[in-house]
Amino acid sequence: MEALESYLRVALGEIRYREAAASGTSKPVTVGSYFRSVQQARENVRKSIVTLLIGIWLGVVKVEDVRRLLDVAGGGVRDLSAEENARLVGLLRALVDRIVA
């Protein structure tokens, strides 16, 4: 996710590729390694979406539950206290558990 976040910043023109490669929480990486991480992250997101769509198609996952999850998760980035963040994570976990149960 870190690679995708920095990739979005590059796409918006906020930073350059070299800065993105050097800006991780772990040690800086080469631009080539950074691109491989971005590609792997993008592929993981694609696979997750396909898995979710197949779950909906098979009837294992309810569309209404996915909508509810996306409404909660898609509320945008906001400043949350540690307590609010913990409650949000708990809610997201409960919704995910219900969806895949």
For residue range 64-73, what is the model confidence (pLDDT) as tens digits?
888 877 777 7
By the 10 Å C-beta count (0-12 exposed, 13-18 middle, 19+ buried), 20 is classed as: buried
Cα separation, 101 vs 92, in Å, equals: 14
Tokens of 36: 């491989």
Cα separation, 79 vs 46, in Å, equals: 28
Write the CB contacts of 66 (distance below 8 Å, at least 6 apart in sequence). 52, 56, 99
Tokens of 24: 């991780």
Residue 47 confidence (pLDDT): 92
pLDDT in tens, 19-37: 888 876 667 788 888 888 8
